[in-house]
Amino acid sequence: MQYPDAIAKLIESYSKLPGIGRKTATRLAFYTLGMSEEDVSNFSESLKASKSDLTFCQVCGFITSKSDNPCVICSDPSRDQSKIFVVEDSQDEMAIESTHDYHGLYHVLNGVLSPMAGRGPEDINVSSLITRLSDHPEVKEVIIGLNASTEGEATTLYLGRLIKPAGIKVTRLALGLSMGTNVNYADQLTLTQAVNGRTEI
């Protein structure tokens, strides 16, 4: 015997999400049956809208609604136009925004260089960054905030070599101990970076 079509299809859809297996998908589907009409209809509509209403900002590559293109940050004149923060994806941009400590502009690569995955500079938003820098001489600093992984490192070095010759200051996020880390629990590489990057107090 099979579940009725409507629930079988819902289980199928849930199980396509990452990290959700058949059992969890079934649990979620039955939970959905018990949700309010309004919640389910909102869910259904927002799924549709995620495909029809969203696009990438034509300037910075951040995820934005089609009616806000360029995105809210790119079209906000109060942001510091002399700084561009380069991130891997929109979620990283939101993480930086959540610190409320940075007030410049962003550029979202939507990926990093990865020879293993066959992803080169033409597959990520690099050329748009270069065009943007040459069109906007008011940019004085490019801050690179990619993941501290092999691919992030490679992309950071690549961007540095590409941008520095234009006479623009290129900085990167500090490497060192995370807040709350014990020195004797930190890995060797992190400790080396923390020692090399030590700051005067």
Do you know the residue count of the chain? 201
> Which position among 22, 47, 136, 149 is part of the footprint of its own copies (CB under 8 A)?
47
> Which position among 49, 117, 157, 166 is part of the footprint of its own copies (CB under 8 A)?
49
For residue 69, the minimal CB distance to its own copies (Å) is 10
Residue 192 region by backbone torsions, left for phi larger than 0, else alpha for psi between -120 and 50, else beta: alpha
If the CB atoms of residues 97 and 141 are measured against its own copies, the closer one turns out to be 97
> Which position among 21, 22, 33, 161 is part of the footprint of its own copies (CB under 8 A)?
33
Residue pair 26/12 in contact by the 8 Å Cβ criterion: no
The three-class DSSP label of residue 99 is coil
Residue 183 has what DSSP assignment? G
What DSSP string describes 49-87?
Answer: HHHHTEEE-TTT--EEETTS-S-TTTT-TTSEEEEEEEE
Residues 95-134, one symbol each (x = binds its own copies by CB under 8 A, - = not), give --x-------------------------------------
65 binds its own copies (CB under 8 A): yes
# chain residues binding its own copies, by CB under 8 A? 53
157 binds its own copies (CB under 8 A): no
11-to-36, 37, 42, 50, 130 alpha-carbon distances in Å: 18, 18, 18, 20, 45
For residue 158, the minimal CB distance to its own copies (Å) is 24
Phi then psi for residue 69, to 5 deg, are: -135, 110
Per CB under 8 A, residues contacting its own copies are: 1, 3-7, 9-10, 12-14, 16-19, 24, 26-33, 35, 37, 39-51, 53-54, 63-65, 68, 71-73, 89-91, 94, 97
